[in-house]
């Protein structure tokens, strides 16, 4: 019986999220597990624990409200991974489009969201949130 208890607890072995790198790794793991795990299984329990850890980390690290919009999340990931706007061109498009997106002058397209999610390991559900655009320049 001890062996089966140890086997079922092995998949649940997870660590606290203490840094941005831990956070990004947890997001990538959750994204990988999304839709692939069954509830009430060791893997399902692990998924639930990971989500709880991420939610707790986000609650302590990110202020609620407008700062948790997709652009702020992208900015956070850029800071943590030492990326520049130039690095975003592969996900968003030409330099001017990156500028327009990051200045909130134009919304992210679905294709951009997919590329950002895949390339930067940002869960898609964080990128699909609606956010306010800046007034158009006259």
Domains of the chain, residue spans = 11-61, 66-127
Asked whether the beta carbons of 44 and 38 are under 8 A apart, the reply is: yes
Going by pLDDT thresholds of 50, 70 and 90, the confidence category of residue 121 is confident
> CB neighbours (10 Å) of residue 65?
8
From the CA atom positions of the chain, what is the Rg in Å? 18
- Look up tokens 């959750």; give the residue: 30
Report which of 37, 63, 66, 69 is spatially closest to residue 50, judged by C-alpha positions. Answer: 37
More confident residue, 20 or 10: 20
The mean pLDDT of 62-77, rounded to a whole number, is 76
Q: Residue 105: exposed, middle, or buried by beta-carbon count in 10 A (0-12, 13-18, 19+)?
A: middle
Section 109-124 average pLDDT: 93
Least confident of 1-5, 49-53, 111-115: 1-5
Q: At what angle do helices 110-120 and 85-92 cross, to 10 degrees?
A: 120
Q: What is the mean pLDDT of the chain?
A: 84
- Give the lowest-confidence range in 48-57, 66-75, 100-109: 66-75
Q: In the Cβ-directed half-sphere of 70, how many Cα atoms lie within 13 Å?
A: 27
pLDDT at 66 over 50: no
Q: What tokens does 35 get?
A: 């839709």
Provide the pLDDT for residue 4. Answer: 41
CA distance 66 to 71: 10
d(CA 8, CA 105): 50
Q: So what's the pLDDT on residue 12?
A: 56
Q: Which ranges constitute the DSSP H helices of the chain? A: 2-9, 20-33, 42-61, 70-80, 85-92, 95-102, 110-120, 124-127
The CATH architecture assigned to 66-127 reads: Orthogonal Bundle (1.10)
């Amino acid at each position: 019986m001890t062996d089966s208890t140890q086997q079922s607890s092995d998949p649940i072995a997870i660590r606290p999220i203490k840094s941005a790198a831990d956070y990004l790794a947890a997001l990538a793991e959750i994204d990988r597990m999304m839709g692939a795990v069954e509830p009430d299984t060791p893997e399902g329990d692990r998924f639930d624990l990971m989500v709880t850890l991420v939610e707790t980390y986000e609650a302590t690290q990110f202020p609620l409200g407008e700062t948790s919009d997709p652009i702020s999340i992208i900015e956070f990931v850029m800071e943590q991974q030492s990326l520049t706007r130039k690095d975003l061109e592969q996900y968003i498009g030409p330099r001017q489009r990156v500028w327009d997106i990051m200045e909130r002058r134009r919304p992210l397209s679905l294709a951009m969201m997919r590329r950002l999610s895949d390339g930067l390991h940002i869960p898609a559900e964080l990128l699909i949130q609606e956010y306010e655009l800046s007034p158009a320049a006259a």
